């Protein structure tokens, strides 16, 4: 991994120079003002963070380096990890080098399996993923070296080591969780010749596993990898790591945020929603029937899963990439067809719902992915967020490696009381 390590170093030098320049231009320049509404409204729209791995444009979606989702949807997740860390795509021999590195670092410890197998049968797979990573925390190379005393400038190098060690174990860990929770508990051995996503697809042991599932898994793990710094999971992971808690703690914490229904859990709810529609109206459900179901759902005070976004104001390009895959490989599949019909019906209803209050009536990344996984026999919805998590860990790792390399301090925004806010209003 010397090429990747060197390229991260180069990227850090580049970013440090940029920051120096920015500081020379005016450290006290005001970037954003905060209103009372924002303070009480989840800090929406408040520019208060820097994240150099990726950014989300409300109208063109996710950008990683200079690339859009459309540019990247044929890539391997390993290449995206390189891109997140360095701002560049790797040379063609990187995939082979990464595969070998993963082989050397793979191997989930037996004690992790013992803990996971001891959990109650109805434990959510996201709890298992988060806990599985936490069990390995004492293996943190960063923690061991920090206790010995290392210069701050080297923190990122050990965090990078931790990242590679975790990433290498993820396919086995995630597939093992699937097999403990939904299979007979036997674990399938990884194939040293397969790529990262291909191995995960294979180790699930699904009846339909083959090249198409591996391809879908690659796309899935590419599309969920990062979404700038302010989303719940990435921000949580960064906050935890900013206290110099190891990457294991930071990843586990980020996953706990991802497990929420307004964030990563939405993807399992999307398929549930599609199956409810199918159950009620049958395979040939019409757009009119779907519209009726949407209105009933909204009237009962529930949200439409897979629609809306805190930042995006257009159809999520990641949704478009999944739809492209679906049209190519799953056009005959009923669940995919329902996802297509929802796309035709939902935005127009959400546009006028609550007097136009829904900021984005468009589909997000989750609206179609479950239908595709379902087609390949992944019919355990509870597992979908684990796949999201496996992918998003690439982003957590890259964000924390870069933040460490830039010497970013502990994160500590100021909070105030109602009384303090009321006093400010009185003063104005």
Cα separation of 324 and 216, whole Å?
Answer: 11
Cα separation of 418 and 426, whole Å?
Answer: 12
Asked about 224 being catalytic, the answer comes back as: no
| Shortest spacing between CB 263 and ligand FAM, in angstroms | 4
Q: Which of 195, 224, 309, 316 is catalytic?
A: 309
DSSP 126: H
Asked about 227 being catalytic, the answer comes back as: no
Query: Residue 356: which residues within 8 A CB-CB, separation 6 or more?
Result: none
Identify which of residues 176 and 389 has a Cβ nearer to ligand FAM in the complex.
Answer: 389
| Shortest spacing between CB 307 and ligand FAM, in angstroms | 4
Identify which of residues 192 and 261 has a Cβ nearer to ligand FAM in the complex.
Answer: 261
Identify which of residues 95 and 303 has a Cβ nearer to ligand FAM in the complex.
Answer: 303
| Shortest spacing between CB 346 and ligand FAM, in angstroms | 8
3-state secondary structure of 134: helix
Cα separation of 105 and 328, whole Å?
Answer: 35
Cα–Cα distances in angstroms (integers) from residue 128 to residues 114, 259, 334, 390, in the given order: 12, 11, 31, 12
Place of tokens 């019909």: 341
Identify which of residues 156 and 388 has a Cβ nearer to ligand FAM in the complex.
Answer: 388
Residue 151 CB-half CA count within 13 A: 3
Cα separation of 309 and 209, whole Å?
Answer: 32
Cα separation of 263 and 24, whole Å?
Answer: 38
Return the exposure string of 172-183: e unless at least 16 CB atoms fall within 10 Å of the residue's CB, then b. Answer: bbbbbbbbbbbb
| Shortest spacing between CB 270 and ligand FAM, in angstroms | 7
Identify which of residues 69 and 89 has a Cβ nearer to ligand FAM in the complex.
Answer: 69
DSSP string, 151-166: -GGGHHHHHHHHHHHH
Q: Which residues bind ligand FAM (CB under 6 A)?
A: 262-264, 266, 298, 303-310, 354, 357-360, 364-366
| Shortest spacing between CB 120 and ligand FAM, in angstroms | 27
Residue showing the smallest CB distance to ligand FAM in the complex = 308
Report phi then psi at 189, rounded to 5.
-70, 145
Beta bridge partners of 63: 55, 68
Q: Which of 226, 263, 279, 316 is catalytic?
A: 263
Asked about 21 being catalytic, the answer comes back as: no
| Shortest spacing between CB 357 and ligand FAM, in angstroms | 5
Q: Which of 21, 366, 382, 423 is catalytic?
A: 366
Identify which of residues 229 and 308 has a Cβ nearer to ligand FAM in the complex.
Answer: 308
Which residue numbers are catalytic? 263, 309, 366
């Amino acid at each position: 991994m010397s090429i990747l390590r060197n390229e991260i170093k180069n990227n850090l030098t580049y970013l440090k120079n940029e920051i120096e320049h920015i500081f020379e231009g005016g450290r006290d320049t005001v970037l954003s003002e905060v209103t009372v509404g924002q303070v009480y409204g989840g800090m929406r729209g408040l520019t208060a963070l820097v994240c150099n791995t990726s950014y989300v444009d409300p109208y063109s979606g996710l950008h990683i380096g200079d690339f859009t989702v459309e540019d990247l949807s044929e890539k391997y997740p390993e290449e995206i990890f390189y891109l997140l860390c360095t701002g560049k795509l790797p040379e063609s021999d990187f995939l082979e080098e990464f595969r070998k590195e993963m082989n050397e670092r793979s191997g989930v410890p037996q004690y992790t399996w013992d803990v996971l197998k001891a959990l109650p049968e109805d434990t959510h797979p996201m709890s298992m993923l988060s806990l599985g990573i936490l069990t390995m925390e004492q293996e943190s190379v960063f923690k061991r070296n920090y206790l010995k005393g290392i210069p701050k400038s080297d923190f990122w190098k050990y965090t990078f080591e931790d990242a590679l060690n975790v990433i290498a174990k993820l396919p086995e860990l995630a597939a093992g969780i699937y097999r403990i929770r939904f299979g007979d508990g036997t674990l399938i051995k990884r194939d040293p010749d397969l790529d990262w996503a291909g191995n995960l697809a294979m180790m699930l042991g699904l009846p339909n596993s083959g090249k198409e599932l591996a391809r879908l898994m690659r796309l899935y793990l590419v599309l969920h990898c990062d979404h700038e710094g302010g989303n719940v999971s990435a921000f949580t992971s960064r906050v935890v790591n900013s206290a110099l808690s190891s990457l294991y703690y930071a990843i586990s914490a980020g996953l706990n945020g991802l497990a929420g229904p307004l964030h990563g859990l939405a993807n399992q709810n999307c398929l549930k929603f599609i199956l409810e529609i199918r159950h009620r109206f049958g395979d040939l459900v019409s757009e009119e029937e779907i519209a009726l179901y949407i209105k009933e759902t909204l009237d009962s005070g529930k949200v439409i899963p897979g629609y809306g976004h805190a930042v995006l104001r257009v159809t999520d390009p990641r949704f478009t990439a999944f739809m492209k895959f679906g049209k190519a490989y799953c056009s005959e599949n009923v669940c995919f067809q329902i996802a297509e019909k929802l796309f035709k019906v939902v935005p127009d209803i959400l546009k006028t719902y609550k007097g136009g209050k829904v900021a984005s009536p468009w589909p997000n990344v989750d609206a179609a992915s479950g239908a595709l996984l379902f087609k390949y026999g992944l019919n355990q919805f509870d597992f979908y967020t684990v796949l999201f998590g496996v992918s998003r860990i690439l982003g957590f790792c890259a964000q924390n490696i870069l933040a460490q390399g830039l010497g970013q301090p502990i994160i500590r925004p100021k909070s105030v009381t109602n009384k303090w806010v009321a006093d400010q209003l009185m003063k104005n």
